[in-house]
Chains A and B, each alone.
Chain A
Amino acid sequence: MQTRKKYIFLTFLASWLLLFFFGGDQLRRFSFFSGRKAEARRNWPHWTDRSLLESFADPEELQSDGDPLLPSPRERRAARLSVYKNSGCRMETCFDFSRCEKNGFKVFTYPRERDQPLSESYSKILASIERSRYYTPNPAEACLFILSIDTLDRDHLSGQYVRNVDEKIRGFPLWNGGRNHLIFNLYSGTWPNYTEDLGFDIGQAILAKASFYTENFRPGFDISIPLFSKDHPQRGGERGWLYQDSIPPKKKYLLVFKGKRYLTGIGSGTRNALHHIHNGKDIVSLTTCKHGKDWEKHKDTRCDKDNVDYEKFDYQELLHNSTFCIVPRGRRLGSFRFLEALQAACIPVLLSDGWELPFAEAIDWSKAAVVGNERLLLQIPSAVRCIHPERVLAFQQQTQFLWDAYFSSVDKIVHTTLEIIKDRLLPHRSRSRFLWNTLPGGLLALPDFSTHLGDFPFYYLQRGSSPSAKFTAFIRAVSPAGSLSQPILRLIQAVSRSQYCAQILVLWSCEKPPPPSGKWPQTTVPLTIIQGRGKLSDRFFPYAAIQTDAVLSLDEHTSLSTSEVDFAFVVWRSFPERIVGFPTRSHFWDPEQRRWGYTSKWTNEISIVLTAAAFYHRYYHSLFTEFLPAGLRELVDGLAACEDILMNVLVAAVTKLPPIKVTQRKQHKETVSQQVACKDGDAGSPPVGERSPSPPRSPPAKVKGTAGMAGGRRFSQQQDCLNQLADWFGYMPLVSSQLRLDPVLFKDQVSVLRKKYPRLEKP
């Protein structure tokens, strides 16, 4: 009995043991156990003597971190020059800043040699630089040098590979070990391992290269550029494909890829795996084995079926209809696919480990792309599914902004490269990351104007601030002789009575000196005379005297009342990045002549606000003078009334929005254009009151006699101007608007006493 009990007990015991050891795994999942586990989380102990612990460093030692035995800073700086060369290059060791001090940031391109063929892309790069405002033909004043040897394709199997580069550059007296040189490269290395070697010694030159591998990238020195095709437009560039912001982002596919699958060699690891995530529904990932000459040799079991599926889908169609696009590495790290996806607003999902992303020094890619990990391909579908619709929408918009700001043309890619280098020269006068990654982007926000965000017209909302409450009236006077015309006196009076007027500046654009101060009307606000240089572009010079955010630009013949000025200014405060003004013009595409047309007739749409009576932000003076190349300003100086159009085109190119027309008191008398100029006549501008109506399809310029002829000439010059500007920008930036802003009670059948701007309605 005893033994039996003993055995029963032992069996019982053994079974318990077994149950526990083998079934423990299940038991562990019981809430009872996990609850206990959470309770028993073992944190870092609270030591009883933690307050007695010694500090990691003696405070005094921490605050006096010096060593008298160390070499002097000057010696240290001199020593590092010899240590950190070539692969260790940084701006402070390999770049000669002193070259940029005297003449600023000037770029020189080597003269092209006749026997030296240039690829299409490299010609475009050189053309971009030569068209830019930084170009100098004089090497003595240059800060940065660009070779005329085509270094884009350094794959020695390629037809465009240039031989003996080393020898050639050694022959250049300006080479100087590559100091202050910038070398562009799109392809380096070749089959099978595609190294980053360029096949010549770049020495201390800055390398702007596509498909940069982080390990070879000299941070703060080299620049990663995107891979672009030879068909990439020189300027302008196609706009992005996002036309609407839909929520939820209802595209047909969630994630797509269509491309080659490398059967062997570098990059094949990732591309071989891509087909795993294909589900045939919202995730389409198609690969083909067909590439190279001997693909059939390496062909595997999947190939035939894959190749068939591959043909079923169109790449462009996928690109247009997917929310996310996989951008895997190819043989090299970067691919055309990257820019294609960006343009298509298909959020790039990067699978290219170690790729230094294009312009990452400036661009915050986390706002526009999903940086995936090649090793975690299989997590990508769930990761992108988890991204919130609002975030997807923000991603999509950011891709479009970046595409348009930095990538859509060779000009933009090259200028971004140059601006990044320029920013390094004066760190205290450089763009913050915010500027680079917020509309309208770094190329259009000049740090030379200000480094303070509040000084720009673009960031009021993001900063929760508003533009200044006063404006500066800026009147261009061109009247001959030493006397003041009646219109300008009336204008000064009317403007100075505005409660928002801070000061009046008169730009005296005549050779004769301005009348003495006693002749000017007495005003409550300060009145300053600026002597112009007699050029039309003078009126947009960033005069230091303009201290308010808003500028009211006027011509001396403009006729405005105080309440018109007041109302327009109040409107401008709601739209500080646009031109807000009175008389307007419009542009149209003339299909017969295949060119842009310009009309001053009354139309249902407007796209240009004349700067003879318009409010805009003073930053546009800087942009006009600093950003546009000198050639464009010369064009404006040579054509009548072109500066108006250029200003409108410039602002539209920056904002992508139309200007705003505000209502203006109608003047029914035909103000015949007086030929008004101190010089030969063309500096004058037409009277800017609204003209009496002319039906839209009648011939232009209803002015008579000589004035009519002058008007006709001016009209054709304006048309020329418009077309030349469209050509320079590479597209037509002007945008049309169908609306006009009026006071809320404008011309309503309510008591005049109720109205704040009753004078606007008087005939």
Chain B
Amino acid sequence: IMCASAKYNTRGPALIPRMKTKHRIYYITLFSIVLLGLIATGMFQFWPHSIESSSDWTVEKRSVHDVPVVKLPADSPIPERGDLSCRMHTCFDVYRCGFNPKNKIKVYIYSLKKYVDEYGTSVSNTISREYNELLTAISDSEFYTDDVNRACLFVPSIDVLNQNALRIKETAQALAQLSRWDRGTNHLLFNMLPGGPPDYNTALDVPRDRALLAGGGFSTWTYRQGYDVSIPVYSSLSGEVDLPERGPGPRRYFILSSQMALHPEYRSELEALQAENGESVLILDKCTNLSDGVPAVRKRCHKNQVFDYPQVLQESTFCVVLRGARLGQAVLSDVLQAGCVPVIIADSYILPFSEVLDWKRASVVIPEEKMPEMYSILQSVPQRQIEEMQRQARWFWEAYFRSMKAIALATLQIINDRIYPYAAISYEEWNDPPAVKWSSVSNPLFLPLIPPQSQGFTAIVLTYDRVESLFRVITEVSKVPSLSKLLVVWNNQNKNPPEDSLWPKIRVPLKVVRTAENKLSNRFFPYDEIETEAVLAIDDDIIMLTSDELQFGYEVWREFPDRLVGYPGRLHLWDHEMNKWKYESEWTNEVSMVLTGAAFYHKYFNYLYTYKMPGDIKNWVDAHMNCEDIAMNFLVANVTGKSVIKVTPRKKFKCPECTAIDGLSLDQTHMVERSECINKFASVFGTMPLKVVEHRADPVLYKDDFPEKLKSFPNIGSL
């Protein structure tokens, strides 16, 4: 504010005397200038923060050396040491985050300053390359806000990644004078190398009061669970070396140790392992006699053998990650990148992002005292699991280790998930590699429940104008004991359904729903009238199914409530000549689909069909007036990963007086169309979800030599 009004004042008085001029145009010009000045002033007035930043931010082409210098008086306040009892509900101000529909926290970054002490000596390097990358990533992310008043989390631009590169007391003073510091509430510090000689604390020694710490190398004693975030120690090799992903499988060495400057005690234990197990264990160390110009960090040696680092990591199945002076080691990142399974030997170390990552899937943790048993422990890991761990390790690196951006965003996401837990990212999203996410299914009806028989089912009859046949279907279906409601979906907009009095009188409620448009998808709409879990979709000409057949279908559905349970089965086949899928309605030994002319399924799938059908399938089906049943088969198989259940011998829907539906089925063009549907859907789904099975469900005593009257379902129908 001060800055803005000063501007106005210097320009204002100079303008007013000139007003005396008689030139009208000049007068008007001046007037507009004043007006503009006012507008500008007004704007500054209402965005006070921008005044501060205007000088710092707007200049695009600037060097870090040009940033403002802040002198810290020797007696400026120092924050309290970190409070070990801090938790989100005690030290974090959630009111700053607020409720918002996106469920995203807002993160503000302080502008960069150079801090010097009273004598002008700088407190630390202004900013490191990595910290700059990290802040850039935050600034480019969805979390970022430039409005300090709307921010929920504050990230100082003071670089504390490496504790040894800064002066502790002065850095703390610099933190304390941040404009919104307030004892460090809602401030987030990133540190990768904590502690220093002689005791190497496992958390940043800079007094930071209530600030959250994203630290690399926490121990269980310094990590405030649910408050701090454990992050990796970034390895600069990640960006420099391109290690292509290597297929999983056995590798040349079984165990590899690549760390330099290991404690001699660890090294002798490793060497003992090597002596015992020979060639399969490789212990590398720093090279002593490298020629000049070869970077020591890119080579490792064993006796006189020289190996390229980190490439050598790809030659081993397991790679040892031992603690050094600190618990967090940059080598972990290299090991993961190489797809080598890390063997973590660092007691009480909090693994990076352990709040969300399941490290048991990507690593083996061995207590330090068990080091001598390492070989036998690792040998007990099943080969197939090793392969998965290799893939998992590489995926962790790609998603959460490979760049400062990945580290920053994972950290913010973890904090975000704590503040909006009901919108949190799931375990699977954090941990499953893309290939697993793609191939796995998570069944939305995963709980093994056998729904109570008493609930019954709702029959939905889609009809257009075949009233006579419809009435017969209604009469027949109403004989099924477990029917609890009948819903007629009247798909004809040009004709009214028959009067109430004309409908057959049945023992269950009958409801007619009129639709706005004649669409096939109306049959799969999750009508509120459907109060049961089970839905029987039935065409208005299916009168051949016996009551026993339908009741049995319902009983089978109860045992498989997450599947489509239907009568005539169909099959998809791969046509090797045409190189595409083919629809098969012959009576084969296999089924992969059931017709929905009469099929039981869970109401949930109506919901999915209507709202979650991938791509344009739903519209496509409505436009072509065909294949809604195939679409439903695809949808259910895709979401559950399970096959359909075909019940009873029924092979086709045929009845003497029916119209040529079956004739149509046999029609060549019909078959071609159906095949096209399969190909179309397979390409939209990106996979062929249908599962082929060789079984069908019959009643336990079906066709057994047993008195028919004692069977539950004696009249199970014919082909």
Contact present for B705 and A741 (CB under 8 Å): no
Query: Which residues of the other chain, B, contact A69 by a CB distance below 8 angstroms?
Result: 197-198
Binary flags per residue of A429-473, CB closer than 8 Å to B gives 1, else 0: 111111001010000000000111111000001111100000000
Query: Which residues of the other chain, A, contact B259 by a CB distance below 8 angstroms?
Result: 63-64
Contact present for A354 and B699 (CB under 8 Å): no
Q: Which of B274-282, B395-403, B450-458 contacts A (4 or more CB under 8 A)?
A: B450-458
Contact present for B447 and A56 (CB under 8 Å): no
**CB contact under 8 A between A56 and B131, given known A45-B62, A452-B384:** yes
B142 at the interface (CB under 8 A from A): no
Contact present for A738 and B443 (CB under 8 Å): no
**CB contact under 8 A between A41 and B263, given known A454-B384, A744-B696:** no
Binary flags per residue of A278-300, CB closer than 8 Å to B gives 1, else 0: 00000000000000000000000
Query: Which residues of the other chain, A, contact B590 by a CB distance below 8 angstroms?
Result: 744
Query: Which residues of the other chain, B, contact A574 by a CB distance below 8 angstroms?
Result: 642-643, 691, 693, 695
Contact present for B46 and A65 (CB under 8 Å): no
B348 at the interface (CB under 8 A from A): yes
Query: Which residues of the other chain, A, contact B380 by a CB distance below 8 angstroms?
Result: 428-429
Nearest CB in chain A: distance from B506 CB, A: 24
Tell me which of A47, A72, A371, A693 contacts B132 (CB under 8 A). Answer: A47
Contact present for B236 and A65 (CB under 8 Å): no
Q: Which residues 1-37 of A have a CB within 8 angstroms of B?
A: 2, 6, 9, 13, 16-17, 20-21, 24-25, 27-28, 33, 37
Contact present for B220 and A741 (CB under 8 Å): no
B472 at the interface (CB under 8 A from A): no
**CB contact under 8 A between A384 and B422, given known A72-B263, A574-B695:** yes
Nearest CB in chain A: distance from B383 CB, A: 9
Nearest CB in chain B: distance from A350 CB, A: 9
Nearest CB in chain B: distance from A731 CB, A: 15
Contact present for A571 and B235 (CB under 8 Å): no
Contact present for B440 and A744 (CB under 8 Å): no
Nearest CB in chain B: distance from A451 CB, A: 6
**CB contact under 8 A between A693 and B706, given known A605-B700, A741-B695, A744-B646:** yes
Query: Which residues of the other chain, B, contact A747 by a CB distance below 8 angstroms?
Result: 649, 703
B369 at the interface (CB under 8 A from A): yes
B161 at the interface (CB under 8 A from A): yes
Binary flags per residue of B106-128, CB closer than 8 Å to A gives 1, else 0: 00010010000000000001011
C-alpha gap A248/B528 in the complex (Å): 9
Tell me which of A242, A366, A454, A745 contacts B589 (CB under 8 A). Answer: A745
Nearest CB in chain A: distance from B288 CB, A: 13
**CB contact under 8 A between A67 and B95, given known A45-B57, A55-B236, A367-B426:** no
B572 at the interface (CB under 8 A from A): no
Contact present for B446 and A47 (CB under 8 Å): no
C-alpha gap A605/B221 in the complex (Å): 59
A655 at the interface (CB under 8 A from B): yes
Nearest CB in chain A: distance from B35 CB, A: 7
- Chain B CB within 10 A, most for which of A243, A386, A428, A743: A428
The chain B residue sitting closest to A17, CB to CB, is: B38
Tell me which of A215, A393, A434, A464 contacts B439 (CB under 8 A). Answer: A464
Nearest CB in chain A: distance from B83 CB, A: 11
Contact present for A64 and B559 (CB under 8 Å): no
C-alpha gap A25/B162 in the complex (Å): 44
C-alpha gap A400/B451 in the complex (Å): 14
B574 at the interface (CB under 8 A from A): no
B61 at the interface (CB under 8 A from A): yes
Residues of B in contact (CB 8 Å), total 177
Contact present for A464 and B424 (CB under 8 Å): no
A567 at the interface (CB under 8 A from B): yes
Binary flags per residue of A631-664, CB closer than 8 Å to B gives 1, else 0: 0000000000000000000000001111001110
Binary flags per residue of B576-603, CB closer than 8 Å to A gives 1, else 0: 0000000000011111000000000011
B449 at the interface (CB under 8 A from A): yes
Nearest CB in chain A: distance from B41 CB, A: 8
Q: Which of A254-262, A529-537, A748-756 contacts B (4 or more CB under 8 A)?
A: A748-756
Contact present for B20 and A432 (CB under 8 Å): no
Nearest CB in chain A: distance from B334 CB, A: 8
Q: Which residues 524-583 of B have a CB within 8 angstroms of A?
A: 526, 533, 552, 555-556, 559, 561, 569
Tell me which of B31, B88, B697 contacts A741 (CB under 8 A). Answer: B697
Tell me which of A9, A97, A366 contacts B31 (CB under 8 A). Answer: A9
Contact present for A215 and B85 (CB under 8 Å): yes
Tell me which of B20, B198, B694 contacts A570 (CB under 8 A). Answer: B694
A88 at the interface (CB under 8 A from B): yes
B180 at the interface (CB under 8 A from A): no
C-alpha gap A430/B363 in the complex (Å): 12
Binary flags per residue of B209-244, CB closer than 8 Å to A gives 1, else 0: 000000000001101011000000111110000000
B87 at the interface (CB under 8 A from A): yes
**CB contact under 8 A between A756 and B448, given known A57-B165, A69-B198, A247-B604:** no
Query: Which residues of the other chain, B, contact A70 by a CB distance below 8 angstroms?
Result: 198, 200, 263, 325
Query: Which residues of the other chain, A, contact B42 by a CB distance below 8 angstroms?
Result: 20-21, 24, 27
A596 at the interface (CB under 8 A from B): no
Contact present for A246 and B159 (CB under 8 Å): no
Contact present for A66 and B324 (CB under 8 Å): yes
C-alpha gap A155/B492 in the complex (Å): 72
Contact present for B62 and A48 (CB under 8 Å): yes
Binary flags per residue of B600-629, CB closer than 8 Å to A gives 1, else 0: 001110010000000000000000000000
Contact present for A65 and B45 (CB under 8 Å): no
Nearest CB in chain A: distance from B676 CB, A: 25
B6 at the interface (CB under 8 A from A): no
- Chain B CB within 10 A, most for which of A73, A88, A219, A754: A73
Contact present for A56 and B129 (CB under 8 Å): yes
Q: Which residues 56-75 of B have a CB within 8 angstroms of A?
A: 56-65
C-alpha gap A663/B703 in the complex (Å): 11
Contact present for B444 and A47 (CB under 8 Å): no
Contact present for B589 and A743 (CB under 8 Å): yes
Contact present for A63 and B603 (CB under 8 Å): no
Contact present for B569 and A744 (CB under 8 Å): yes
C-alpha gap A65/B330 in the complex (Å): 9
C-alpha gap A512/B21 in the complex (Å): 130
C-alpha gap A72/B263 in the complex (Å): 7
Q: Which of B475-483, B494-502, B655-663, B707-715 contacts A (4 or more CB under 8 A)?
A: B707-715
Query: Which residues of the other chain, B, contact A46 by a CB distance below 8 angstroms?
Result: 60, 136
**CB contact under 8 A between A364 and B427, given known A24-B46, A214-B225:** yes
B673 at the interface (CB under 8 A from A): no
C-alpha gap A88/B719 in the complex (Å): 74
Tell me which of A373, A387, A427, A738 contacts B712 (CB under 8 A). Answer: A738
Contact present for B695 and A662 (CB under 8 Å): yes
Contact present for A56 and B192 (CB under 8 Å): yes
A90 at the interface (CB under 8 A from B): yes
Contact present for A695 and B707 (CB under 8 Å): yes
Tell me which of A57, A374, A739 contacts B193 (CB under 8 A). Answer: A57
Contact present for A246 and B603 (CB under 8 Å): yes
Query: Which residues of the other chain, A, contact B89 by a CB distance below 8 angstroms?
Result: 353-354, 373-375
C-alpha gap A16/B36 in the complex (Å): 11
Binary flags per residue of A587-620, CB closer than 8 Å to B gives 1, else 0: 0000000000000001111100000000000000
Tell me which of B61, B192, B235, B706 contacts A48 (CB under 8 A). Answer: B61
Nearest CB in chain B: distance from A763 CB, A: 9
C-alpha gap A384/B422 in the complex (Å): 8
Query: Which residues of the other chain, A, contact B448 by a CB distance below 8 angstroms?
Result: 439, 655-657
C-alpha gap A693/B708 in the complex (Å): 12
A486 at the interface (CB under 8 A from B): no
Nearest CB in chain A: distance from B59 CB, A: 8
A626 at the interface (CB under 8 A from B): no
Contact present for A745 and B587 (CB under 8 Å): yes
Nearest CB in chain B: distance from A570 CB, A: 5
- Chain B CB within 10 A, most for which of A67, A245, A735, A749: A245
Across the A-B interface, the 6 shortest Cβ-Cβ residue pairs:
A464-B439, A66-B261, A65-B324, A64-B261, A44-B139, A353-B89
Question: What would 10 A/B residue contacts be, using CB atoms closer than 8 Å?
Answer: A48-B62, A56-B128, A214-B225, A376-B94, A437-B427, A571-B695, A574-B695, A602-B706, A658-B559, A693-B706
